[in-house]
Structure formats: C-alpha cells, structure tokens
Copies of this chain bind each other. A is one copy, B any other.
Amino acid sequence: MLTDRQLLILRAIVDDYIKTAQPVGSRTLSKRSDVTFSSATIRNEMADLEEMGLIEKPHTSAGRIPSELGYRFYVDHLIRPESISPQEAKALKSLFAHSVNENDRLIRHTADLLSELTHYTTLVLGPKEEGQRLHHLELIPLAEGRVVIVLVTETGHVEHKTLQLAEALSREAASRLMQRLNQTLRGTPLSQLRVRLLEEIRRFRSEHSEQTTLLSKALDIVLMDQDNERPLIYLGGKANMFDQPEFQDVAKLRPVLELIEQQEALFDFLSPNLDNQILITIGSENNVDALKDCSVIRAHYSVDGISLGTLALIGPKRMDYNRGINSIIHLLQAFQTELRKNSLD
C-alpha cells in the first residue's frame, strides 16, 4: 500500500510527464507548491516507487517517467472525474444543434468532434449490421434491368445496393413483391435476412408464378458480399498524431498510422468488449504490436440498452487520460441522444 506522500509524488510525476513529455527529476518536483519536503526525500520515495514498478528511468542520470504499471495505477486510482469547463459544456451542447438525420453522417461528425475536443485521433466503430433489424425494404426498378434495393434498419440506418438483372423487372412486379416482403420480413435481424429473403421470394414465386429467379440470384450475390458484414470505421483527427513528440520518429509513427488505415485490423481490435462501459488499455495491454506505444480509451455506445458500436480515442501512452475520459463520456451522452432520435421503433 502506498503512503499519501507516495501517492502525491506518483501523481505529480505522471501529471508532469503528461504535460511536458520530459522525465521528471526530484528537484523539479520539490519546487512544486504542494510539495513541502526536500528533493532528497523525494529521491528516497522515488526509489521505493521504482522498486514497486510504478516508475522507471530512461537512463541512470535522468528523471523518472511512469511505467505502464504506473499509468495503470494512475488511471485506476488517481484520476479525478473532473467536470468539463463551462465553455466546453456549452460547446458540446451546440455541437448537435441541428440534428443530423443520417446515422452515417452523425457518426462521422462525432468522430471529428471528439478529435477536435481532445486533440487525439478518434476511431468510431459503426453499428454492426448483423445485430440490426429490418425496418423497410424497397425495390426500385430502373432501365436496362438495373434494380436498386434500399434497406432501412430500425436504427434508422439506410443502405442501398444496385443489382444487375439480365432482363427488366416491371414496376408492378417489384411493387407486389416489395409489399409482401415488407409484411413478412420487418423486424428480421440482418444476419438472417439473406436466407429469409430468398426463401420468401421463392415462396412468392410459387404462389404468384412470377418470374423472379433472376432477381433472387442477383440478390443472393449482392447480399453475400462481405462488404456488408463489417461495420464501417470512421476516423477523426489523424493529423493529431503528428503533434505528439513521441511520434516525431517515422519508425514510431508508421506502424500506428498504418494500423489505423486497416479497417479489418482495427475492427478486430475495437470489437466489443461489454464488461465495462469505458475501457482503457495502455501500451502492451492493447495486445497489438503497432500500438505498444499507444493508449486507447474506448466507450461503447448503445441505444435502448442495445450496444451498437464503439467510440475510441487513441494517443501516446503519455496521453491526457483525465481529459480524454471526460471528453468521451460527455460526448457519448450527446451522441446517444442523437442516435435515439434517428431510430424507428
């Protein structure tokens, strides 16, 4: 167990290092107004803290920096849930002043906002398709056998695909089929949609003896497309990475930026972990080599108790956890409220 003085020193070291990115020496600390004891005393305490693995020195004659364990301790025990400043609270309220009807744009907007708010890079994992339920389906026949299928989910998400049929689908046939499909399929989870859709078309065909073989084949191909399986990831403030002194070296910067561009890898990484509402992973805790020098703050967003996706903040291990956590919590609130507005019960 740590003494109060040790806690004070540890917090001071982490705070200072987060601010300056420079190893913190005993003399520097002793000059702080909240430190009443001498640098020698601090050195003794530091030796103890180092023995406990909470801090470390880059080399013999340097000050101390927090270890991963130190950051972990700081995050777990030393963070004070600071309320954001009044002007920020005001800004946050006005952020969503005019509603954004489409979830896609709402999510993109949110990613940008969060990165502006924190000056870190932001990742927003969109809702997984599979979990969502169908609200409405529309078939729009165009010229030359082209058919656009529009799909609206209960969360208000709209999506379209274009099919190419060998022969035209009449507007009347499309209309009849559509009416039937909407009657029977509303509420179907998208994960089952493909199977049930084909089944339903087959049944419709036998009842009405209409020629929809081509349609079902084309639909099958388009719905099979794995593009749909994976939720989209939106990024905000990528350039913020450049401002971090730890990423002035291309060798450090490259793996992070490369990972960020890879949808698949990111998806695996961000994929839901529903234990906590807010999850912070530090350095090697990320279990991703490219992120061994980064910390990630994740928050799951949900509507009506259903978890939809993830908001994440990515920065150096030396990131401002306090600010990051508070910003993400506050933005999460506003974001969920907007999402709620867009959903179709």
Binding site for B on A (CB under 8 A): 99, 101-102, 105, 135-136, 138, 140, 142-144, 146, 148, 150, 152, 156, 158, 160-164, 222, 227, 238-239, 242, 247-250, 253-254, 257-258, 261, 342, 344-345
Contacts and interface: CB of A to CB of B under 8 A. Distances in A.
Contacts of A164: 99, 101
Contacts of A239: 254, 257-258, 261
A101 B162 contact: yes
B148 A142 contact: no
B238 A242 contact: no
Contact of A250 (B222, B227, B250, B345): B250
How many identical subunits does the complex contain?
Answer: 2
B142 A344 contact: yes
A324 B277 CA distance: 48
Contact of A242 (B136, B142, B250): B250
20 contacts: A99-B164, A101-B162, A101-B163, A102-B161, A102-B162, A138-B138, A138-B140, A144-B344, A146-B344, A148-B158, A150-B150, A156-B162, A158-B160, A238-B261, A239-B254, A239-B257, A239-B261, A242-B258, A247-B250, A257-B257
